[in-house]
A and B are shown apart, each in its own frame.
Chain A
Amino acid sequence: MAIFPSVEWFQEVRQVYNSDKSLHSGGGGACDTTAGFRIGESRYLIEFAGLTCAQVRQSSDAELEESDFIIEMPMASWTAMVRDVQENGKASSHQTLNSLDLDLDEGIARSPVDDQYKQDLFYRYNQNFQDFFNASSRVETRFEKLS
């Protein structure tokens, strides 16, 4: 059983996402971007290329700063979001990336280099990332204990 967060967990989600086109509600069109994720002490890069999630890997802080945009929120919020997806098959309306971005004071997405063009990619490809996390409902998940 994959632990959230871990590279193994993201790889399993990636496999589910790439193998079932019915999970792609984001228009079915190309999505070319690399997003950074800061989850607790862990850092990940998720690269979308065309119609698939091309790569998921652990990254350093420096690499994260070179991504198009970074999604960051408290560990408890990440866990609540993934648990919600597990329980409901997809994020319920107040646990979507969009809702969390609205609800948290500073939002959850930012461009590491103050580049408005890159910041906008979060909105342009929002549904692809939501679909990706919704795919995690099919991944048996164990949660890292919150410290």
Chain B
Amino acid sequence: MSEKMTESMSEDEPTQGVPEPTYDWMGLTNQWGTRVKPGEHGLRLGDLNVGIYGEVPEYWDDQTRRPRGALPRAGIPPLPYSLRSKHEMWADCAADLYEEAIQRRWIPATEVPWDTLKELPEDVERAICQICTELSQCANTELEIITYWQDRMSYGYFEVKQYLATATFDCARHLEVMRKRALSNGGGLGIESRGRVNRMILESSGGWTEAVVYLYLLRGTYITRLLTGLLSFAHNDAETFIYSHMLEDHARHMTYGYDHLKYAATHHEGATDIMRTLLAIGEGHMANELKDGVVSSAMAIIFGGGIQGGRTYGMERYLLLVREFLEDYLSVCEWLGVDRRESLHPMLKSYLED
């Protein structure tokens, strides 16, 4: 450092030309002296909810990016946060899920044992690649609908916004890993999905809760079963790693989704009636998508070890998967107080009767 500079940085003399700071901002706080200590599992997001910092209001009337607990500043222009009620996005588990997501992250590029991929019969490889194509579109849909609504969520419920940031990253990873699996074993991407349910999810404009009904309760419950089925019939360690990690990420998303719907159902009058109406519409789209032969025949080939086995055992196994999905779906609906057993869409009901 030059002598000249050293001289000008004397502690007693303010730098020439720079006004003396007033430090007016010091002391402006809602609550000072907070000293949260790390618990058994470290210093977690949820641990910070102490004193006024833990007050999560039912309605957040501030339309700025003011962090919860900070002092408001006059004159900040409002931002277009349209979701400002707690029941529109809240889930008690969001802070914990955020921590879990960042701790249980995984890296497809280097952690998947890609060298264990082996050549498969062409019909099986084609079926896997088709499912990878479908699941990458589902992940993309989830990513897009989350980011669409995340932008509209009030800052007061930052735990949810932060958790959803991890969920979008999970989706990006699923998109990535499905594409990588399809392009790494002699196959390639298959045909684009008709996307009925994807469109239904993306066009759900009534609020985030409506999107959650379609994205998680209806389609997500089905994807859970697809992933458990794929995991069970994985052909090598690479696929086992991929499906098991996708399943764990997806289960976290489902936990948020179910928990949010439970919160909405118990804290917002009329929410269960709205869910019932949405599901009556959504089940029709889901039934049509299930009827489309692409996923069903691809899964049957995977389960049956080829086209031949897919016609018999494989398809039976797939139909069992659909029945299990519907049983899961009906039981979660019942748990939410939205019983659908009697009024389930007839096309879906037929899977339970066969």
Interface residues of A (CB under 8 A from B): 25-30, 32, 49-50, 93-94, 96, 98-99, 101-103, 114, 116-117, 120, 123-127, 130
| B105 contacts partner chain A, Cβ-Cβ < 8 Å | yes
CB-based closest 9 A-B pairs: A29-B103, A29-B104, A123-B251, A27-B104, A99-B232, A124-B251, A120-B255, A30-B103, A116-B258
B212-250 contacts to A (CB < 8 Å): 224, 228-229, 231-234, 240-241, 244-245, 247-248, 250
Q: Are A130 and B244 in contact, with the CB atoms below 8 A? A: yes
Q: Are B41 and A50 in contact, with the CB atoms below 8 A? A: yes
Q: Are A116 and B335 in contact, with the CB atoms below 8 A? A: yes
B82-124 contacts to A (CB < 8 Å): 93, 99-100, 102-106
List of B residues within 8 angstroms of A93 by Cβ: 232-234, 240
How far is it, in angstroms, between the C-alpha of A26 and the C-alpha of B241 when the chains are bound?
Answer: 9
Q: Are A29 and B228 in contact, with the CB atoms below 8 A? A: no
List of A residues within 8 angstroms of B241 by Cβ: 25
Q: Are B245 and A27 in contact, with the CB atoms below 8 A? A: yes
How far is it, in angstroms, between the C-alpha of A123 and the C-alpha of B105 when the chains are bound?
Answer: 15
| B174 contacts partner chain A, Cβ-Cβ < 8 Å | no
20 pairs, A vs B, C-beta closer than 8 Å: A26-B248, A27-B103, A27-B104, A27-B105, A28-B104, A29-B105, A49-B41, A93-B232, A93-B233, A93-B240, A103-B232, A116-B258, A117-B255, A117-B258, A120-B255, A120-B258, A123-B224, A123-B247, A123-B248, A124-B251
Tell me which of B93, B231, B335 has the highest count of chain A C-beta atoms within 10 A of its own C-beta: B231
How far is it, in angstroms, between the C-alpha of A117 and the C-alpha of B324 when the chains are bound?
Answer: 18
| Closest chain B residue, CB of each to CB of A50 | B41
| B7 contacts partner chain A, Cβ-Cβ < 8 Å | no
How far is it, in angstroms, between the C-alpha of A145 and the C-alpha of B100 when the chains are bound?
Answer: 41
How far is it, in angstroms, between the C-alpha of A29 and the C-alpha of B248 when the chains are bound?
Answer: 12
Beyond A26-B104, A29-B104, A98-B228, whether A127 also contacts B252 by CB under 8 A is no
List of B residues within 8 angstroms of A102 by Cβ: 228-229, 232, 321, 324
| Closest chain B residue, CB of each to CB of A54 | B40
How far is it, in angstroms, between the C-alpha of A116 and the C-alpha of B247 when the chains are bound?
Answer: 16
**Which bucket holds chain B's interface residue count?**
35 or more
| B172 contacts partner chain A, Cβ-Cβ < 8 Å | no
List of A residues within 8 angstroms of B245 by Cβ: 27, 127
List of B residues within 8 angstroms of A99 by Cβ: 231-232
| Closest chain A residue, CB of each to CB of B224 | A123
| B62 contacts partner chain A, Cβ-Cβ < 8 Å | no
List of A residues within 8 angstroms of B41 by Cβ: 30, 32, 49-50
How far is it, in angstroms, between the C-alpha of A32 and the C-alpha of B332 when the chains are bound?
Answer: 23
How far is it, in angstroms, between the C-alpha of A141 and the C-alpha of B41 when the chains are bound?
Answer: 33
How far is it, in angstroms, between the C-alpha of A127 and the C-alpha of B332 when the chains are bound?
Answer: 23
Tell me which of A26, A116, A126 has the highest count of chain B C-beta atoms within 10 A of its own C-beta: A116
Tell me which of B40, B104, B228, B245 has the highest count of chain A C-beta atoms within 10 A of its own C-beta: B104
| Closest chain B residue, CB of each to CB of A118 | B255
List of A residues within 8 angstroms of B105 by Cβ: 27, 29
| B262 contacts partner chain A, Cβ-Cβ < 8 Å | yes
Q: Are A30 and B100 in contact, with the CB atoms below 8 A? A: yes
List of A residues within 8 angstroms of B307 by Cβ: none
Beyond A29-B105, A96-B231, whether A126 also contacts B100 by CB under 8 A is no
Q: Are B232 and A117 in contact, with the CB atoms below 8 A? A: no
List of A residues within 8 angstroms of B210 by Cβ: none
List of A residues within 8 angstroms of B103 by Cβ: 27, 29-30
* Cβ 8 A contact of A116, one of B228, B248, B332: B332
List of B residues within 8 angstroms of A125 by Cβ: 248
How far is it, in angstroms, between the C-alpha of A124 and the C-alpha of B321 when the chains are bound?
Answer: 19
How far is it, in angstroms, between the C-alpha of A30 and the C-alpha of B45 when the chains are bound?
Answer: 14
| B56 contacts partner chain A, Cβ-Cβ < 8 Å | no
List of A residues within 8 angstroms of B324 by Cβ: 102
How far is it, in angstroms, between the C-alpha of A120 and the C-alpha of B93 when the chains are bound?
Answer: 12
